[in-house]
Structure 1
Amino acid sequence: MYKYVLGLLACAISVNVFAMNQPQLDSMAKDLKVIYTLLDANSACPAKVQQCYLSELSLTLPYDLNSHNWAIYFSQLMPIVHSSNSEFEITHINGDLHRLSPSKMFSGFAGGDAHRIRFYTQDSQITRSEFMPNYILADSEGLLSAKVIASTIPTVDPETGLEVQPYLAPFNTMSQLRIHERDKTPWMGTKYLFENALRPVLTEAPIDIIPKPKTLILSSEPVVSIQNGIKLSLVNIKREGISQALFRLSTLGIHEQEQGFNVNIKRTTTATLAEQAYTLKISAQAVNIEAATEQGAFYALQSLIGLLNIETHTLPQVDITDAPHYMFRGLHIDSARNFRSKQFILETITHMASYKLNRLHLHLADDEGWRLEIAGLPELTEVGSTRCFDLSEQRCLLPQLGAGNAPDASINGFYSRQDYIDILQHAKRHHVEVIPSLDMPGHSRAAIVSMEARFERLMAQNLERDALKYRLVEPQDLSRYRSIQHYSDNTLNVCLEQTYQFIDKVLTEVQTLHEAAEVPLKIYHIGADETAGAWLNSPACSVLKYSEPSLNGYFIERISKIVTDKGVEVAGWSDGLDDVRVKNMPHVVQSNVWGTLAHGGHQVAHRHINRNWNVIVSNPDVTYFDFPYESHPMERGNHWATRAVNTRKVFEFMPDNLPAHAELWHNNYARSYIADDTSSRLEKGVSAKGIQGHLWSEMIRTDEQAEYMLYPRLLALAERAWHKPDWALRYKESRSFDKNTTFMTKGALQAREKDWQRFIALVGFKEIPKLASQGVFYRLPSVAAGKSESGQLMVFTEIPGFDIEVKTLNGWQAVSPKMLHSTALAVRAKLGRRVGRALPVSDHVLE
């Protein structure tokens, strides 16, 4: 077979009179202009395709080139199902990777003339960030060095710091925003925001903190100055437990001084203070803190920082009694799809702790990357941590998600063993627990490819026994499947014993790292979601598939026992956990319920809560921060679960009453929906144990983009995780909700609006400036713009504290009360040196 392939290759080279050399390929990669145009997000589809969109690729060279000896590899999230240009062929490789190559009909490039290739792609893509960059040009035989096509490399706008996609034509029509006739998604530009956003009413920050405490009483009017520093007195409190809060104070200019203001911190065993609870009393004489644990004292100091005026270094005199609503207050970071630097993780932990979040769910392996060094399995990071152009996948994984061809790109990388230990220890100092996750049995392509490279290496050394030990491929398995992300080979075979040997090895090494860090592994998240229909023709499964009701359930049950036997609590995504037999699961199980609210997500949550599992509310409609802030093409994000998750939506979430949102929210087509809880009600005395935000990274290639997606939404997540507001509708069983029900009273809605005004004043006037001083690349709000009756321009940002600039024919200038709407071309928010994305004032969108 090998000689046959070589013969074909030699024949192809001998007859190809249009062969390309390296200088020609380099020149073509440098000069080829690629323009991608989304023509219609709701197109009539080819036969047997229910939903699709129509696109066009335009290829232009400034000179003549008559060569058939090239191919372009590019990422298209959804598979292309039909192309109408006979001069080109488009082939789906695997995952999102496609190849475009000239057919026998190709007439060559004529200088300046564009070749246009129209094609249909199944399902939908809408936001600009879903259209991946870094197209790769290669020769047909693979003899030359592949190059990234220069015109497809994204750049950064020097004013906003946001990504620019020069290869992607403008999005300016509703046909590029809506995916079918029922889709009523609005174009959230300046006019929409002016008509729908809540205008801020407070002009300064109130005396309060984020997250809101249980009680806060202003005890006296005069403020207390701590500009000369603080003097600590500790009783039954180890300094190590509060050191990072003290360090944060020092970064704001408040240092420990012998003559500083007295701060007394006492650890008490009184029954009135639960774990993580605290009291904070600020008077003219001293700051007095009492807590049952060092964690509670740490949170009290974070509250003190929240009260601090960072300009005057003064504190209000208040009495605070506080405790969290949820003990589990989490954030999920996906470092697998696109890598997040160690520094980003450390800084994120610091910010989490500032707002009393205490669980970091760290996603370390998926199809597109393995990100944790494992002793004894070097291929996992040598091969599995990098994506580049190597179709044999001996050096790296396929260049999915627009990875390009640079092994040292920021999307590649891994955490060394010492890196991970450092992360664990940093988290411990901030009272944040790290929950590692190496997703299995689906989402495991990086592991499978890496272990196949290990197999090949050891077989070449005649070490067959060692080679087979962790091999995750069964050569005789002829199963054909396609995962949600369109892979045909990303699922571990749950019937192979070496699968469990591999997982046990990995788990043992992860637990060893935790022990080295002196941070015990308490919870391990197995993933277990989105498992494709694999194993149907696996010889290893020939018996088991008839004795087990679900092979995925069998896998989860078996892995759960392995995890539990190591003294670790098992966690998983709810869809996988639905495959198990509850009686075969450990007594303690964490379930991240991620069903969308608009499609019965509350039913899944209630079912798992009623099992007495530790349910962590993870509904994508509101907790997934990889979705856009607003339904606008320029906003980065995915779109399958919701079209907009702004800070206000996260703030308004009522995680203890999931079905109630049908009365207030819409589905991902901007339409009302029904949430019927009459047959899925919660049993008496049970509830969810926590809430978690999620930052998946398929469309997030840099740490700056990740920060943009997190802040300020992370603050609203912290608010809902720590504090249950009085306006939140209490759960009552057997209700059905829709747009016509009125369980949420007018009084409650008014109270919610008042609470929102308090919250955004704190965000805009106090917390954003703190984040800015720490170099966080937060999102500046979009500007709402409208016209007064007299024709003057009226503008605001939903979050206050930002300057607003207007673009006229004379350029950018500060907004003024007398500025006419007719003279304004665009508006943007500004704070210090940062400016936000400019939006046109005339929000005319073509149908």
Structure 2
Amino acid sequence: MRSFLLLIGSLSSTTAMATSLSQDTLDTFAQQLSVQYELISAKPEKCPEPYASCYLSRLTFSTPVEINSNQWSIYFSQLMPIYHTDSSQFSITHINGDLHQLKPTAVFSGFTADQPISIEFYTQDSQITRSEFMPNYLLASKGLTSRVINSTKTSIDPQTQLELQPYLAEFLTLDQLQISKEDATPWMGAAYLYENESRPTLPQAPLSLIPKPMSLQKLSGDGVNLSQGINVIGLDEQQLKLSAAFGRLAQLGVKQNELGITTSISLGLSSPHSEAYELQIKDQKITIKANTDSGAFYALQSLAGLISVDDLTIPALSITDAPRYSFRGMHIDVARNFRSKAFILNTIEQMAAYKLNKLHLHLADDEGWRLAINDLPELTDVGAKRCLDLTEQQCLLPQLGAGLDSSSAVNGYYSQADYIEILKYAQAHFIEVIPSFDMPGHSRAAIVAMEARFNRLTAQGNNVAAAKYRLREPEDKTRYSSIQHYNDNTLNVCLDSTYQFIDKVLNEVNTLHIKAGVPFKTYHIGADETAGAWLDSPSCKALQAQQPTLHSFNGYFIEKISALVASKGLKVAGWSDGMSDVELANMPNNVQSNAWATLSESGHEVAHRHANQGWDVVLSSPDVTYFDFPYQSHPQEPGNHWASRAIDSQKVFSFMPDNLPAHAEIWRSVRNHHYSADDRKTIRTKPFIGLQGHLWSELIRSDQQAEYMLYPRLLALAERAWHKAPWELEYNKQGTKYDQHSDYFNVDLQQQKEADWQRFAALVGFKELAKLEHVGRFYRLPSVAARVTNNGVDAFVPYPGLTIEYQNSVGNWLLYNAANKPALVQQVRAISVNGLRKGRALKVD
């Protein structure tokens, strides 16, 4: 402390306010400055003009010593723009995206030792989950190396292994959970869960699978004990194609062995489904018949699904199976925050284990470009990392609390060798990789990288090459703001260089697929735009003059890129909002639309419309398939909040994808209100081709966090994508209106669904969580439902087989015994299968 006092002493005079900091002073300042963020209210009584929706926050700073300098600033991420402050001592400026700069004003009189100084401010829109409040505030001063303020770093809870945010004050009230007076979102604590969750009823795992097969019948006769492994006969060549399935069996203790159970695999099953299979286990033999290699692969995955980690016996049975949808996908965003290659490979393994077959890999967005492209080094040299370089010649701005370390886990990219390895690994697991570089909006990483390339080549005098792939038009003075509050993230769709760039990228990606020996089948163009872009673009004005009937610039872009993609023999895919901008006659015949409109806001309409016009519709409804949203509406649960406040596994399991409007009977809107869905004017006449889960990464800063959000929801997604349950409400082909009073989903269907959920939950609790743990996946431990009763505290979790702990009145954690209920309980939590990890604790009131 004495050395720090000496260091700061040079700043103590009144003239020091304008004196520059030394590097040592700034370093120590960053170590000692305490920053505390407090969300005061997510629904203030009144918002300052011009916004009707806002939230009120407070930042409090303190230091252990006196500091009189004002030659510093703090850069920090705030997802929504701050637009009003109440302080004369500090100013806050929105830079771009979520990046803000806080600076002391001329009135700032310095820090007095241990005397906190606060600034309150209003931010537009809403922000309510703790994970939305970003870490890694940056202390900067002109001419010095910036530092992360130590008090704003995250840490890891040693018991839960979940992220902690010591800079963020505790959330305690509904004012910090609800975003308006009309918001009825419940605080999903232990008592709420007790009243609303299904209590497990099955004492052991039933004879079944995830996903559930079309038919499973128990047979008379002997089953098998796989402790000695399996002896595969019949298909030597196909065994190479099935090696990934054999690998999963080996992970679970079932290896190939000449002394093992005789297992015959044959192709040629007569079935209209290419992925169909039959599996019979009887009299110490396993017989698999399949239509194709993929069917045989899924039969082996079913064999792995039938066993437990600690029980390799299977009774005599017969399975006949085929998938519900041909497209069973998972979308992984590696652009906003990077995911390691190991994470992708591990995710591919689990997708295949539960029979998912499409990996939509989101490789570029505003915050990062994640694939090395030949001849365009800036895409990864600049576009794959974030740091505090306001000129952005070395890196992108440090959005999303990225900090300063360009080599940290949130930054990075896949080399060409990495991508080839991913392609081969996916192919071995019968998964198609669908790459995506989002355009024309969400393209800031590419735009900044190509601008850095332009500057480099221009400095070398190579002006022609510099302009070839430039994505920005300097003369375009259009002012706009994207949904993530960028003013420069939309590439110019009227420049020839834009299309030269995209053609170059597609050709290079295709080359990587050729090198991998994996066909490039589908390209997802994104099709996101930014409202208001291009209005003052000279090139766009010229294009409009040449084509006065041009219906929209975004539609023009999508049509032109779709033609380019189709000319390369690829299927065109895009998000439904952008794809709605096109003229149907100008599109190729083979088009995929990811329908992502929120169901509570008539989201069924665009899905039906796109299916009816002959496009392949993949359901991407955010209120049930976006796994970056919280499992439950509780401040400690990480996730976004704009489309749903709670997506637990049971909600995903309850999805009826063939009947989108029917969910108005059983679900509520994002603000927990009943809603209606009228399908009488938008009757669907053609089927959907599939279902996709989504893991966007804005709020996910590590692979471990990503796995927490994926598992076990991925299992419920696989259940609905592969298996159509008999309790699902059939689609009304004459059209109807649904609401909480329409009562089509009757008591009988509700009871069927509950019984099916009990089967699924028992399989998860008794078998599948242990398998996830066995291969090192970081699944979410469920929160414990608990209530004080006359007989003590009653508690349960949705998945049977998990152990519960409770904290007694003196703070000790003890094992919960339902037969001997404790009377005094402070908190409850679940324990992982191996007993090493604790779940998030909930208070018992």
Fold shared per TM-score above 0.5: yes
Report matched runs for 1:280-359 at 5 Å.
280-359=279-358
5 Å matches for 1:782-801? Answer: 782-790=783-791, 792-801=792-801
With normalisation by structure 1, the TM-score equals 0.96
- Residue of structure 2 in register with 1:504 after alignment: 503
Partner of residue 86, structure 2: 84
- Deviation track 1:332-357 (CA, whole Å, cap 9, x = no partner) reads 00000000000000010011000000
Residue of structure 1 equivalent to 2:125: 123
1:306-352 Cα shifts (integer Å, max 9, x gaps): 11233232112111000000000000000000000000000100110
CA distance in structure 1 between the aligned counterparts of 2:664 and 2:280, rounded to whole angstroms: 41
Q: Quick one: distance in 2 between partners of 1:519 and 1:231?
A: 30
Separation of aligned partners in 2, 1:273 and 1:501: 42
CA distance in 2, matches of 1:401, 1:93: 13
Distance 2:604 2:312 in 1: 46
Q: Describe the SS at the equivalent of 2:433.
A: strand
Tell me how far apart the structure 1 counterparts of residues 693 and 778 of structure 2 sit (CA, whole Å): 18
8 A contact 1:491–1:532 mirrored in 2: no
User: How many Å separate the matches in 1 of 2:222 and 2:272?
Assistant: 29
Q: Which residue of 2 aligns with 1:243?
A: 243
Matches for 1:767-846 after TM superposition, within 5 Å: 767-790=768-791, 792-808=792-808, 809-817=810-818, 822-831=823-832, 832-843=834-845
Instruction: Work out the CA distance in 2 between the residues paired with 1:441 and 1:471.
Output: 13
Match of 1:447 in 2: 446
**Which ranges of structure 2 fall in alignment gaps of 5 or more residues?**
1-14
3-state SS of 2:777 partner: coil
How far apart, in 2, do the equivalents of 1:197 and 1:249 lie? 34
- What's the counterpart of residue 690 of structure 2? 690
Measured after TM superposition, the shift of residue 227 of structure 1 is: 1.4
Aligned residue for 1:757? Answer: 758
CA distance in 1, matches of 2:72, 2:428: 54
Report the Cα offset of residue 255 of structure 1.
Answer: 1.5
Whole-Å separation in 1 of the counterparts to 2:443 and 2:697: 16
| Counterpart AA for 2:169 | A
1: CA distance, partners of 2:646 / 2:477:
42
The answer on whether the counterparts of 1:625 and 1:709 sit within 8 Å (CA) in structure 2 is yes
**Aligned residue for 2:729?**
729
The one-letter code sitting in structure 1 at the alignment partner of 2:106 is: K
Which secondary structure does the structure 1 equivalent of 2:242 belong to? helix
3-state SS of 1:365 partner: strand
Alignment of 1:337-736 (within 5 A): 337-545=336-544, 546-683=548-685, 686-732=686-732, 733-736=734-737
Distance, in Å, in 1 between the alignment partners of 2:236 and 2:266 is 6
1:158 alignment partner in structure 2? 158
| 1:173 Cα offset (Å) | 0.3
Match of 2:62 among 55, 60, 63: 60
Question: Match of 2:9?
Answer: none
Distance 1:235 1:93 in 2: 62
Match for residue 100 of structure 2?
A: 98
In 2, the alpha carbon distance for the partners of 1:770 and 1:814 equals 23
Equivalent position SS for 2:672: coil
Give the 3-state SS of the residue equivalent to 2:479 in structure 1.
Answer: coil
Q: Distance in 1 between matches of 2:779 and 2:405?
A: 28
Work out the CA distance in 2 between the residues paired with 1:197 and 1:500: 52
SS for the counterpart of 1:536 is: coil
**Structure 1 match to 2:741:** 740
1:3 — aligned with what?
Answer: none
Q: Is the 8 A contact 1:160 1:834 kept in 2?
A: no
Q: Contact 1:240 / 1:429 at 8 angstroms: preserved in 2?
A: no
Is the CA contact 1:825–1:842 (under 8 Å) kept in the aligned structure 2? yes
> What residue in structure 1 maps to residue 36 of structure 2?
35
Q: Match of 1:10?
A: none
In the TM superposition, residue 50 of structure 1 has moved relative to its aligned partner by 1.2
Aligned to 2:261: 261
TM-score scaled by structure 2?
0.96
Q: Give the AA of the match of 1:207.
A: L
Q: What is the deviation of 1:820?
A: 5.9
Call closer, same or farther: CA 1:63–1:740 in 2, change over 3 Å: same
Amino acid at match of 1:758: R
Partners of 1:189 and 1:839 within 8 A in 2: no
Task: Report the alpha carbon displacement of residue 544 of structure 1 after superposing the two structures with TM.
Answer: 2.3
Query: Bigger shift: 550-559 or 248-257?
Result: 248-257
Where does residue 4 of structure 1 map in the other structure?
Answer: none
Check conservation: 1:656, 1:688, Cα contact below 8 A: yes
**Aligned 8 A contact 1:273 1:291 in 2:** no
Give the partner amino acid of 2:750.
L
Q: What are the Cα deviations for residues 606-652 of structure 1, in whole angstroms up to 9, with x where unaligned?
A: 01010110000000000000000000000000000000000000000
Cα distance in 2 between the residues matched to 1:364 and 1:312: 40
Q: Secondary structure at the match of 1:625?
A: coil
How far is the alpha carbon of 1:256 from its aligned partner?
1.5
- Could you list the per-position Cα deviations for residues 267-292 of structure 1 after superposition, in whole angstroms to 9, with x for gaps in the alignment? 11x43352000000000131000001
Change (3 A) 1:295 1:817: closer
Give the Cα separation in 1 of the matches to 2:195 and 2:253: 42
Inter-partner Cα distance in structure 1 for 2:324 and 2:256: 32
Q: What does residue 6 of structure 2 align with?
A: none
Looking at structure 1, the residues matched to 681 and 838 of structure 2 have their Cα atoms a distance apart, in angstroms, of: 47
1:122 and 1:21 mapped to 2: Cα distance? 36
- Asked if 1:200 corresponds to 2:200, the answer is yes
Q: Which moved more, 1:320-329 or 1:306-315?
A: 306-315
- Whole-angstrom CA distance in 2 between matches of 1:221 and 1:208: 18
Letter aligned with residue 304 of structure 1: L
CA 447–102 in structure 1, closer or farther in 2 if over 3 Å, else same: same
Q: How far off is 1:674 after superposition?
A: 0.6
Q: How far 1:530 moved relative to its partner?
A: 4.3
Question: 1:532: how far off?
Answer: 2.9
Distance 1:178 1:835 in 2: 31
* CA distance in structure 1 between the partners assigned to 2:304 and 2:839 by the alignment: 31
1:674-708 per-residue CA deviation (whole Å, 9 max, x = no partner) reads 1011111112xx11100000000000000000000
Deviations 1:730-757 (A, max 9, x none): 0003200001111111111100000000
Helix, strand or coil at the partner of 1:126: coil
* Distance in 2 of aligned mates of 1:192 and 1:498: 56
Offset of 1:533 from its aligned partner? 1.6
SS in 2 for 1:649: helix
Structure 1 stretch displaced more, 90-99 or 270-279: 270-279
Shift of residue 237 of structure 1? 5.6
2: distance between equivalents of 1:324 and 1:635? 33
Question: Are the aligned partners of 2:271 and 2:291 in contact in 1 as well (CA < 8 Å)?
Answer: no
Equivalent residue for 1:169?
Answer: 169
Q: Secondary structure at the match of 2:453?
A: helix
Matches within 5 A, 1:157-236: 157-220=157-220, 222-235=222-235
- Asked whether the equivalents of residues 335 and 369 of structure 2 are also in contact (C-alpha less than 8 Å), the reply is yes
| 1:238 positional shift | 1.4
Letter in 1 for 2:830: A
Structure 2: which amino acid aligns with 1:556?
A: I
| In structure 2, distance between residues paired with 1:273 and 1:267 | 14
Per-residue Cα deviation, 1:126-148 (whole angstroms, up to 9, x for no partner): 10000000000001x3x000000
How far has the Cα of 1:529 moved from its partner? 1.9
Offset of residue 220 of structure 1: 2.2
Q: State the distance in 2 between where 1:508 and 1:51 align.
A: 45
- Match of residue 5 from structure 2: none
Alignment partner, residue 138 of structure 1: 140
Q: Is the 8 A contact 1:442 1:491 kept in 2?
A: yes
Q: Distance in 2 between matches of 1:606 and 1:86?
A: 54
